[in-house]
Structure 1
């Protein structure tokens, strides 16, 4: 009886090894992660279609009511008396737009939590990595297959969703939607930023899983690290490019699309007096007079023209960090598995 069992076991092992040789580690990774892949592709298709439809509806509404570029408070004479239509537009499309924005903002954390953290932790926890490593597949080749396919799927899904959101954002207009590029959520959802940060979260999750080797614990730690990285990017974002200092007469305005970092008054000698130097109160006039404040003001700002350069700089930093984390992953695997 034991003699009959042994050939069957050997035959099964041979078939497994043969399958691995024919398909290679990449095919094995695909088989292991089909659910994740189909989930990402489903999210891409559903989200992309919804955003495209919503963008078309917003564009049509703006054209029909001629309120493109109008905000609730606008100096454009063309927008006078159109605040009601702007409010109706935001009521009709604002909620759906914010949901799409929230998806892009949370996407890196979701990728790290549900794709990155379990990627290596699950196999190491269950011991299934030993099967792959004993079938003529070296540890570095195994690792490359484990990382390459999820990274490609994440990049495609994140880029597609980011493109759909960008279409919505441009269709609705910053002013009319009240969704400016410099807001914390707006910047993080636009352009290359969510794509790069998703790849970074994937790498971070994989490294955490490799070190902890427990899926649930790796997911918890990855979520915390992703939140810390998001906060760090938000804190340094305003320093990615030097701000522009603009002088103008009192009562002048800069576009609402400018990210204002600071403001103040100009003295008669041309010096800049930061706001708050003379606190509001009964003695403010005497204070302003003592500082020789003139009729001008100044703003420290990031104009809208700096948006895309800043976005690409932040994305580049995120991709560089992702590459660095990936190098660390390879070093750890080489040390642990040879």
Structure 2
């Protein structure tokens, strides 16, 4: 015996309740439509700031491409590749004036892009992440959405999906463009080194990871505090603290490379090496610094012999550590962003069911 769909005094029959299957109308189709509607609504609500973000990223990427061409032409013309202001490389002899002129012409542009990529995650957290949910909760407009067929978790997922996709796309384009630019004029020529605060935060996966963290931090704080302006202020402080903590942790993400050289020999450390420490080694392997020696103004060589110094050491992160450090830190940052996002869903479930 089969059930037929009839509309009569008692309403729809069983088949109408379960859906037809031929035209895709039913519970399963209705379950997908509200999510698409919530995604569309999120884009409509935030299309101005998301559009500015995407357009700004595209314009900055084009500027990086143009700047790279100009910098590459200058470096090739003056044979400056790998040369710094003070260099012992024979082929760089006589290029100091050209390096100074290059930095005067292009260093400010590089610093501007680095500064923008370093500040962008915090700006995303403050102006996009924090108001994303806090404004809805503060004004009460979330109640209208939640009375529809969209549940609170699906609503939060839709609210996060569109900004996260735009943030990922914009910061990825910017990071790739600047990394391509930095390959030409970074490190020695421009004096913009990979281990500097601005340099590390603007290269490779690092700015992308921090941008996603900024969005997650702002969203969670907005969900907890439910006040837009307060959430923006707390997000600003939280991002400053988190970036500072990761900066302190960075040097310990990989073991340093130790280089030993003779006791009385002066060695020029490459500008691209991130120096972590240096001093003297005794015959027993003990490490001494200038403070430990207390040689004063006397015979320095005699002082070294008196303390049993046999060689010097230098702890460093060479340039080969750049990308491993970047990927490790980016992975930790993304993991933290994911954990905060999961916690935000737990908060939403606890408060709104």
* TM-score normalised by structure 2 residue count: 0.87
With 248-257 and 190-199 compared, the bigger mean Cα shift is at 248-257
Corresponding residue number in structure 1 for 2:120:
107
Partner of 2:345: 330
SS at match of 1:171: helix
Within a 5 Å distance, the mapping from 1:91-240 to structure 2 comes to 91-240=104-253
- 1:58 correspondence with 2:74: no
Which residue of structure 1 aligns with residue 306 of structure 2? 290
- Does the C-alpha gap of structure 1 residues 280 and 210 become closer, same or farther in structure 2, counting only changes over 3 Å? farther
Q: Distance in 1 between matches of 2:35 and 2:267?
A: 71
In the alignment, the residues of structure 1 paired with residue 106 and residue 121 of structure 2 have an alpha-carbon distance, to the nearest angstrom, of: 25
Describe the superposition over 1:198-232 as per-residue Cα deviations: whole angstroms up to 9, x where unpaired.
Answer: 10111000011011111111100000000000100
1:163 positional shift: 1.1
Q: Unpaired runs of 5+ in structure 1?
A: 1-19
Alignment equivalent of 2:267, drawn from 252, 257, 273:
252
Supply the distance in 1 between the matched residues of 2:204 and 2:233 (Cα, whole angstroms): 28
Larger radius of gyration: 2
State the match for 2:278 in structure 1.
263
- Deviation readout 1:13-38 (Å, 9 max, x if unpaired): xxxxxxx8495211111111111210
- Inter-partner Cα distance in structure 1 for 2:335 and 2:35: 35
Partner of 1:17: none
- Correspondence for 1:321: 336
Contact 1:56 1:171 in 2 (8 A): no
1:38 aligns with 2:54: no
Q: CA deviation at 1:245?
A: 0.9
Alpha-carbon distance change, 313 to 23 in structure 1, aligned in 2, over 3 angstroms: closer
What displacement does 1:68 show?
A: 1.1
Gaps of 5+ in 2: 1-32
Cα deviation per residue 1:273-314 (whole Å; 9 max; x = unaligned)? 2343224622573542321223x3110111111110110000
Q: Distance in 1 between matches of 2:210 and 2:61?
A: 19
Q: CA deviation at 1:267?
A: 2.9
Q: 1:185 to 1:280 in 2, by over 3 A?
A: farther
Q: Which moved more, 1:262-271 or 1:62-71?
A: 262-271
Q: Deviations over 1:122-150 (max 9, x none)?
A: 11111111111111110011000001110
Whether contact under 8 Å (2:35, 2:150) holds in the other structure is no
Distance 2:247 2:144 in 1: 43
1:65 deviation in Å? 1.0
Alignment partner of 1:302 out of 314, 317, 324: 317
Aligned partners of 1:266 and 1:293 also within 8 Å: yes
Residues 162-171 or 278-287, more deviating = 278-287
Deviation at 1:268, TM superposition (A): 4.5
Pairwise CA distance, 1:270 = 5.1
Instruction: Give distance in 2, aligned partners of 1:262 and 1:70.
Output: 24
Deviation by residue 1:146-186 (Cα, 9 ceiling, x = unmatched): 01110111011111111111112111131001111111221
Q: Return the alpha-carbon distance in structure 2 between the equivalents of residues 34 and 335 of structure 1.
A: 29
In structure 2, distance between residues paired with 1:280 and 1:229: 42
Aligned residues: 319
Q: How large is the Cα RMSD of the aligned pairs?
A: 1.7
